[in-house]
Structure 1
Amino acid sequence: MPLFRSSKKAAPASSSYQVAVVDQLLPSPEAPLIKLDSQVKYKGKLMDVRVICNPNRDSHLVEQLSRGCAYISMSSPSPSGVKLMYGSHKLGHLAIRNNMYSAPEIDDLENSRQSECTGPGQALVEFACRLAIANNHYELKADSLEGSAAFYFKMGFRFPSDQSVNNQLLAEYMQKSQSKSGLGGEMLLNLRSYDYGIAELNKMAYLLSRYLQSSAA
């Protein structure tokens, strides 16, 4: 079941956005993968997550990684986005809409094995953030449909024009309660913002702080 699925149709440019910036994620041509800071737990096993930018060229890496960690496969350019895999098991899915002159937007975010796996949503959001930063974007959008507002709120997304809703989500977090209000709508992640001063409610900004500093250098 998706964490998020947009009601909008994906723009054809979404795949070209990924392809245009993915090489900038790599530390060097000799290092054809990167390691995310996020981890996933699948069937009780906690695993690192790595990104393989050309799985067809680097098929030996896919075989090696499938033995011990999860990986995001940047397969052939497609609006369908990227998959988070463990061996032959699909753990999650991400697609990003390229808005050209404004912040990119998460078009689809999915935990494919919710009963067995935790963490794919955060790992894929981190990957989306790294793509955005590599393309000189420090904001990311998402529509919090299907009850995903609390998840996005913890990642650092906020309702930009409704602080009362943000405060409601904050209160629910502090009280450890689940939202029953059906909150939803467009949310915005500002990777340079640390509002509320709580790391658990600004996960991406805190998680990527060193990456942001090196990108700005």
Structure 2
Amino acid sequence: TARKQVSQSMLALKYLWDLPSDHIMTEQNIKVAHGLLMANAISEEEPMNAGSYRTKSCHATGTMGGKDFSPPEDIASSMERLVASLANSTASGATAAKFSYNFLAIHPFSNGNGRLARFLVAWMMRSAGMPFPISIGQGKSARKHWLKAVTRNDSNRGLDWLETLILQSCLNRWINFFLQVNMQLGVEEETISSGCSFLDLFAVCMRPFST
């Protein structure tokens, strides 16, 4: 049910969010998160083996149609290299964009890859200093933007759109935070930070997440 999906999504995100900020992500962490996300899920009347890499070939349909994902025999080695690349990278929007794109290109699980990729992006931005979980691709319209940003790289147009989408999600989260603070304190927008404009304030807030 929808309620169960939301509950399991929250468990998966909480698991990743509760990892130490300086934690080095492992394949086991990713498998555990997927296990929480897809526990007891069934596809085509068969269990989905939550938390385990897929054993069958996978081909994209719909918006991502025409794309073949990594063959099952290559998934373990591809994921090992992908996770290892994080240990040698600085947490940033660019790193999150590159990781999520490559993760989706591998498509290590039979289902739930998109949701898990977005949760992993939230974890990576936390490592970059983001104090709140960010929401990417939630809802039909937002998901359409997410898929468009991901598939743009398939046309050799780079990851700029995907990185921008991630940073925009961080910005939106900050905007919501400051608006809530304003409402609770009754502070006028112009008086925040000794007259600092919202754009200036957000520019300062976003510096740790840009490249």
Q: Would you tell me which structure has more helix in proportion to its own residues?
A: 2
TM-score, normalised on structure 1? 0.32
Structure (1 or 2) with the larger CA radius of gyration: 2
More strand by share: 1
* TM-score w.r.t. length of structure 2: 0.32
